[in-house]
Amino acid sequence: MRKSVPRHIVITGASAGLGRALALAYAAPGVVLGLVGRDGERLESCASNCRARGAQVITIRADVRDASTMQTSLHAFDDAHPIDLLIANAGVASTLVSARDWEGLDRTATIVDTNFYGAMHAVLPVIARMRPRGHGQIALVSSIAALRGMAISPAYCASKAALKAYGDSVRPMLARDGVWLSVVLPGFVKTAMSDVFPGEKPFMWHSDKAAHHIRRKLASGRSEIAFPGPLALGMRLLALLPAAFADDILGRLSYLPREER
């Protein structure tokens, strides 16, 4: 089902990486962008480029883990520009650099608080406005890592799996109210986050290619957007295999932290 063209769009994590690419992909005359990010300088740089493409831009400097600030800021934006599309994209990664590395409680909490609760802090205030209007679209940027956990990034995989599970759970209820929800499952996208990933990065896409792909699929009303195709298929097949067999395959593909020599 093709959706109407969104004019009032909020993107979290817009100061860099895929979020920045998405902001630029949607920037056009007649579009109002609400760009959320922590780094003020990078956020303003993105905003300037979006304005050069004709968009009106409102920057929201905020940490998505701050529930109160997020709600106040998003409701203020929505009061002036009722949100058509929210892309909850902000996220951080954590990888184990060796077998001696470990994600303790603090490190795990930071990943989950940003990737899952940070998304909720954007999504829930916006859903509260969209449901009474009977209109709107939400995009949750999860990850292909949500399809099958990997030993190299436990907290990241868990947080992204939780995001996918949440989206799948609330999608049919929101649809009753005219709000469409899509879960986005990117593979490797060329960003600062992927640059520090220690494992192999097959079928990696440029961030601009990923952003335009996401935009096209959201416009067509896709419930789930997983890319690139071969990697998404491989992860789905892994999830069907016996756990020990799948663990062995992932280990051979460098997704098991290596023993130090």
* Residues annotated catalytic, as ranges: 156
Q: Is the dihedral angle over the CA atoms 215, 220, 222, 225 positive or is it negative?
A: negative
The three-class DSSP label of residue 33 is strand
Burial environment of residue 61 by CB neighbours within 10 A (0 to 12, 13 to 18, 19 or more): middle
28-to-4, 8, 24, 159 alpha-carbon distances in Å = 16, 11, 8, 33
Q: How many CB atoms are closer than 10 A to CB 1?
A: 8
- The Cα–Cα gap between 62 and 144 comes to 27
Q: Are 7 and 84 in contact (CB under 8 A)?
A: yes
Spatial neighbors of 97 by CB under 8 A, at least 6 apart, are: 198, 257
Q: What is the DSSP letter of 259?
A: P
* CA contacts within 13 A on the Cβ side of 241: 17
Spatial neighbors of 239 by CB under 8 A, at least 6 apart, are: 147, 148, 246
Q: How many CB atoms are closer than 10 A to CB 146?
A: 22
